């Protein structure tokens, strides 16, 4: 299997990471060598195997649905790269 530049550009869109042509070339090379290594899994017959999603064999516990935010709005907003009064600010999305 080979991952071509078109696929790299597609994945970069899905990943929301901008990739120029030079970077795409390097990524394609790296990813192809990694996937060559991963292809080893194809040797295994796993038709009758259940996928393992979690090793923690517990059932989720229920808890009371209550707010435990601690009223730290200011501290939370302080980390924002761009804030305006009580809001997070992003580039204009409505023209």
Partner 1 sequence: MSDITSLTLTDLVKSIKDKKISSEETTKAFIDRGEKSRDLNAYITEDFSNALDKARAFDQKPNFDLKLPGIPMAVKDLFCTNGVKTTAGSKILNNFIPPYESTVTQNIWNEGAILLGKLNCDEFAMGSSNETSFFGSVQSPIDKDLVPGGSSGGSASALAANLTPITIGTDTGGSIRQPASFTGTVGLKPTYGSCSRYGIVAFASSLDQAGPMSKNVKDCALLQEIISTYDEKDSTSIDFKRNAYSKELTNNIKGKKIGIPKEYTVDGMPKEIEDLWTKGIEYAKDCGAEIVEISLPHTNYALPAYYIVAPAEASSNLARYDGVKYGFRSKGENLIDMYEKTRSEGFGEEVQRRIMIGTYVLSSGYYDAYYIKAQKVRKLIKNDFDEAYKKVDAILTPSTPSAAFKIGEKTNDPVSMYLNDIFTVPVNLAGLPAISIPAGVDAKGYPLGLQIIGKAFDEQNILNIAYAMEEKIEFKNKITDWWIK
* Binding to partner 1, residues 48-77 (CB under 8 A): 49-56, 58, 60-61, 63, 70, 72, 75-76
What DSSP letter does each residue of 20-58 carry, written as one string?
A: -HHHHHHHHHHHHHHHHHHGGGGGS--TT------S---
End-to-end CA distance of the chain: 44
- Cβ atoms within 10 Å, residue 41: 8
Task: Tell the smallest beta-carbon distance from residue 84 to partner 1 (Å).
Answer: 13
Q: Which of 22, 65, 67, 81 binds partner 1 (CB under 8 A)?
A: 81
Number of shown-chain residues binding partner 1 (CB under 8 A)? 50
Strand, helix or coil for residue 83 = strand
Which residues of this protein are in contact with partner 1, per CB under 8 A?
3, 7-8, 11-12, 14-19, 27, 30-31, 33-34, 37-41, 43-44, 46, 49-56, 58, 60-61, 63, 70, 72, 75-76, 78-82, 88, 90-93
């Amino acid at each position: 299997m080979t991952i071509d530049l078109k696929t790299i550009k597609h994945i970069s869109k899905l990943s929301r990471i901008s990739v120029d042509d030079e970077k795409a070339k390097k990524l394609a090379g790296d990813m192809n060598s990694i996937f060559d290594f991963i292809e080893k899994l194809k040797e295994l017959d796993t038709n009758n195997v259940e996928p393992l999603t979690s090793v923690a064999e517990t059932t989720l516990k229920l808890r009371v649905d209550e707010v435990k935010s601690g009223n730290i709005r200011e501290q939370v907003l302080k980390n924002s790269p761009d804030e305006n009064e009580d809001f997070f600010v992003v580039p204009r999305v409505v023209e």
